Amino acid sequence: GNSVTQMEGPVTLSEEAFLTINCTYTATGYPSLFWYVQYPGEGLQLLLKATKADDKGSNKGFEATYRKETTSFHLEKGSVQVSDSAVYFCALTSGSARQLTFGSGTQLTVLP
Partner 1 sequence: DARVTQTPRHKVTEMGQEVTMRCQPILGHNTVFWYRQTMMQGLELLAYFRNRAPLDDSGMPKDRFSAEMPDATLATLKIQPSEPRDSAVYFCASGLGAEDNEQFFGPGTRLTVL
- Would you say how long the chain is, in residues? 112
CB of 55 to partner 1, least distance (A): 10
Do strands 106-111 and 11-14 pair parallel, antiparallel, or not at all (unpaired)?
parallel
**What residues line the site for partner 1 (CB under 8 A)?**
32, 34, 36, 41-46, 49, 51, 89, 93-95, 97-100, 102-105
Q: Which is nearer to partner 1, 62 or 80 (CB)?
A: 62
Q: Is 71 exposed, middle or buried (0-12, 13-18, 19+ CB in 10 A)?
A: middle
CB of 12 to partner 1, least distance (A): 19
Q: Which is nearer to partner 1, 34 or 62 (CB)?
A: 34
Q: What is the dihedral of CA 42, 106, 17, 34, to 10 degrees?
A: -80
Q: Which is nearer to partner 1, 49 or 74 (CB)?
A: 49
